[in-house]
Structure 1
């Protein structure tokens, strides 16, 4: 699923509980991250839950592997992976993630800690992209 399709689908979900379930389902459908990649180095600082994130270049695109030990956070990871999928490091740096977050109407429904964790994950992705774009 592309991020545009997710935003479109969320437009039809009025109830926050249904959105919450949809986000959790996205996380459940994430490909498994190999345990060997879940290291202290791959942990994302600033998240209340454990979130692991690594990347590698595949051709010109930055491919991100990520996982979390919390269902809703894993769903937010899936949202981020959709937003940044099939993009070069330079394209990743141009993504307006705050706009996507607003279009999904997540701002008012996530706790401040989860919101901070979400943006910590964004910062990690942007740092990886900046390093490779240089």
Structure 2
């Protein structure tokens, strides 16, 4: 299956993505990560109002294959979380870059927040390198 990696997103090597709209960051999990996890059975996300620090776990995702921590690509305050995905985590695979977003964060400091993220082409090249 050909996986998509939208160019308007930035990616972490831990497979989270971020889409910026001004100071609002929408964070989700890449199609690659969702495919690797398989059938997702549980999703744990932070509450609205919770402060996140870049690089520190903000939640977890569990599948029949594995359980993984989730990491934010940016620091800030959670302003929304996707209740639909919490209730039906198996639907993440249906539209990971659209309806399958996880949380929305008001970014605390846009300067340098995305320095260690990857473009879509860099992320895809890294994934292809992992196959070797």
TM-score (ref. length: structure 2)? 0.26
Structure that is richer in strand per residue: 2
TM-score (ref. length: structure 1)? 0.26
Structure that is richer in helix per residue: 1
